[in-house]
Chains A and B, each alone.
Chain A
Amino acid sequence: MIENIKVFPLVVANHAAYLTGQKERELYCDGEKLAKALLYCQKYYNYDAVIVFSDVYVEMEAMGGILSFPEDAPPVVKSYPRIIKVANPYTDGRIKEILKAATFLKKYLKNIPIFVSLKGPFSLACLLVEAERFFMMLVEKEKKARELINIAFENQLKYLKAILEINCIPFIGDPFASGSLIGYNLFENYALPPLKELIKEAKFCGLHICGETKNLLPLIIETKAKIISLETDIQFAKRYFPEDIYLMGSVPTDLLVNGDIFQVKEECEKEILAGGKNFILSTACDVPKYAKKENVKMMVDVGHIYKRL
């Protein structure tokens, strides 16, 4: 089924809310509404795989954080967990809503792979205490930073198993392990080991690392993720990638908002030519809420035209 994925823009809750005329909060809090909106988006644009993602705080909330939900904007942190606990994915917070959404989509999209997003343990550790505090811990309180990563890993392992149980594919996002934020050494020492463990358990999964990752590419390959989604220049990344890894990326998201269909077409063609075999045309990160519909459509069309060639 994976061989059939040629175009996979990362359409998530906020763009789905915009496209279906709903308020964001409704989708963040209700798995069925999220699933129906994502289903609508897939039918509307006709892309080849779906990712279930609402917002970055899902796991952190289930582990004891408290959020507030503005009507039409992403959740806001009211307080970080006072006592951090490993969540039960079937009962705590909104993880169950994500699983509900994935189960629903699995039922209605039989021939399309359903990915479920979960955070890499490094990024989840960041979210459990606030990123700046966590980053300073990496330098000043190494032991405390490791403890946080360990509990984040434990949590994600349970979540990952729940995703596998419903026959969906885990898609690990590690936005704070970005090359723009931490260097090679910190990635190797802190972000990579729990990622490897998690990916080993998943056997087959996707991995997305935000920001500039040129320096991290050898380590990212070491994770053994089968699908790797990057913001980095595809032509550059391709040189490092073994043939059996599906490389995904990396249409700049601001182009979908500010560009026109001609610029999008040109960019997509450039990416496809650079990506070569086993390349999946995708966005560099989530499709922005206010991405122009015609731009996303153009991206999907270009991907499908090249698929036939």
Chain B
Amino acid sequence: MKKDIYEKLAKAVFSLNLSLTEKISQEIVKNNLDCQKAIFQGLVLGIKKVSDYFARGKYFIPEVLVAAECFYKGFEILKTNLKNPLPSKGKIILAVVEGDIHDIGKNIVKLMAEMDGFQVIDLGRDCPKEKILETALKEKPEIIGLSALMTTTMLEMEKVIKLLKENNIKAKVVIGGAPTSQLFAQKIGADGYAPDAVSGVKLFNQLIND
């Protein structure tokens, strides 16, 4: 029965059914079932299938956004009954650089990284470089992900990287966003470039294991 209910939860997320995700999560809490298992065998499994469909071009941004809504709703309910904190692969800071307010891409990366077991500190959009530095000094992340959608604001990434290096921040810096490229990443001294969210999370895993 327990296994069944986790499977149902995974299916609810994958089929983008918010009210069903909510209902099953509440049932799990009410029956005092293992919430950690419900998160990993239910919500995470569902979202991994969504991520797989996204990578194969069967789901697109609208479906991923709704799946994320389902995931976070379920997580909010299940976390109230968690016995132990969830394990983490590592810490990532994500930010859309100063001057840029486009954050869909960053939000998708955040979702996929969290689903993959990373702890994400989201500094939001239009984020000043000083705030990125301050958070990096305090949180000591393994990776810092920077995003920009405009050719004007992507130039800000270079300034962020320079400031981080001047302050001996050891975290690897990954950049992404429509106008960026591998060529640009090399030019500004980033440790990696990700053309999309799926390859971004792959790169996080590689860099963490380096």
Contacts and interface: CB of A to CB of B under 8 A. Distances in A.
A302 B65 CA distance: 43
Contacts of B65: 132, 135-136, 139
B152 A135 contact: no
A77 B102 CA distance: 11
A183 interface: yes
A131 B66 contact: no
Given A131-B104, A211-B178, A254-B179, A186 B62 contact: yes
A259 interface: yes
Given A73-B99, A140-B18, A258-B187, A288 B66 contact: no
A86 to B, nearest CB: 26
Contacts of A183: 57-60
Nearest to B67: A139
A175 to B, nearest CB: 10
B62 A136 contact: yes
Contacts of A215: 57
Nearest to B181: A254
B61 A181 contact: yes
A181 B16 CA distance: 17
Contact of B61 (A77, A135, A255, A291): A135
Nearest to A190: B62
Interface residues of A, number: 31
Nearest to A263: B183
B155 interface: yes
Contact of B62 (A135, A252, A259): A135
A285 to B, nearest CB: 8
B183 A254 contact: yes
A288 B178 CA distance: 12
Contacts of B169: none
Given A135-B65, A136-B65, A254-B180, A73 B60 contact: no
A289 interface: yes
25 contacts: A73-B152, A74-B150, A74-B152, A132-B65, A132-B104, A132-B107, A136-B62, A136-B65, A136-B69, A139-B63, A139-B65, A139-B66, A140-B66, A182-B62, A210-B178, A254-B151, A254-B183, A257-B151, A258-B183, A258-B184, A259-B183, A288-B152, A290-B151, A290-B152, A290-B155
Closest 9 CB pairs of A and B: A288-B151, A135-B62, A183-B60, A139-B66, A138-B62, A181-B61, A289-B152, A254-B181, A182-B60
